Amino acid sequence: MPSYLALAATAAALLTTLSAPAHSATAPAVLALTPTAVGRIPVGGPAGAAERMLRRTLGPPDRAVDGKGCELDPSAGPRRTLTWGALTVSLAPAGKGRLVGWTIGTGRIPPRVRLPHGVTNTTTVRAAVRTIPGATTRWDEVFQMYWITAPAEPAMVWAGDHEDGSGRIAYITNAFEPCE
């Protein structure tokens, strides 16, 4: 005869499963954003698969925009951007479509999202420099950003918006495109 504790635990687990949002039932516990991927989809991977995985994991985006492209870099082509709070994922819809990358701006990062080295938009610039292996910094007059880069992760950029490197991280991306 099963114990009352085992029955209670089973009932609690069933209730949690039934009351969870539909997108979380099949979603991974964490969405890792890396220098080369969004979750299990690599940069350059299929846009459709990336969008489906993101919607399953994070739910519907707060905003979806189909852009015409960038006049500063016409070769970049049009972009479809999907935004959840501070997270924006860029897709190139032309042809078969591909995942371009991700960007964190200001605002709330979705709770399931994990970033390289644990650096977020609430991390100070100085703490980020200490945390990111091999970090180098420079002030960029054109973009008015205090860039942090690392040779081992050439696609990654972390940035603050104070020339002296004070303040918090304001921008993180694995796909810098000046037309964002």
Kindly report the CA angle at 70 between 178 and 81, in degrees rounded to 5? Answer: 80
Cβ proximity of 176 and 166 under 8 Å:
no
For 54, phi then psi, to 5°, come to -65, -45
Q: Which domain holds residue 47?
A: 26-102
The 10s digit of each residue's pLDDT in 4-37 is 333 333 333 333 333 334 444 554 568 999 999 9
Q: Are residues 31 and 98 in the same domain?
A: yes
Q: Are residues 38 and 62 in the same domain?
A: yes
Query: In this structure, is residue 5 part of a structural domain?
Result: no
pLDDT class of 51 with cuts at 50, 70, 90: very high
Q: Are residues 48 and 98 in the same domain?
A: yes
- Domain total of the chain: 2
Query: In this structure, is residue 52 part of a structural domain?
Result: yes
Query: In this structure, is residue 70 part of a structural domain?
Result: yes
Q: Are residues 49 and 98 in the same domain?
A: yes
Cβ proximity of 50 and 64 under 8 Å:
no
Strand order of the β-sheet with 63-66 is 63-66, 80-84, 87-92, 98-104, 169-173, 157-160, 145-149, 136-140
Query: In this structure, is residue 10 part of a structural domain?
Result: no
Which one of 73, 102, 131 terminates a domain? Answer: 102
The 10s digit of each residue's pLDDT in 91-146 is 998 778 999 999 999 999 999 999 999 999 999 999 999 999 999 999 999 999 99
d(CA 92, CA 164): 35
Q: What is the pTM of this model?
A: 0.82
Query: In this structure, is residue 66 part of a structural domain?
Result: yes
- What does the DSSP 8-state code read for residue 77? -
- The mean predicted confidence, pLDDT, of the chain is 85
Round to the nearest angstrom and report the end-to-end CA distance of the chain: 62
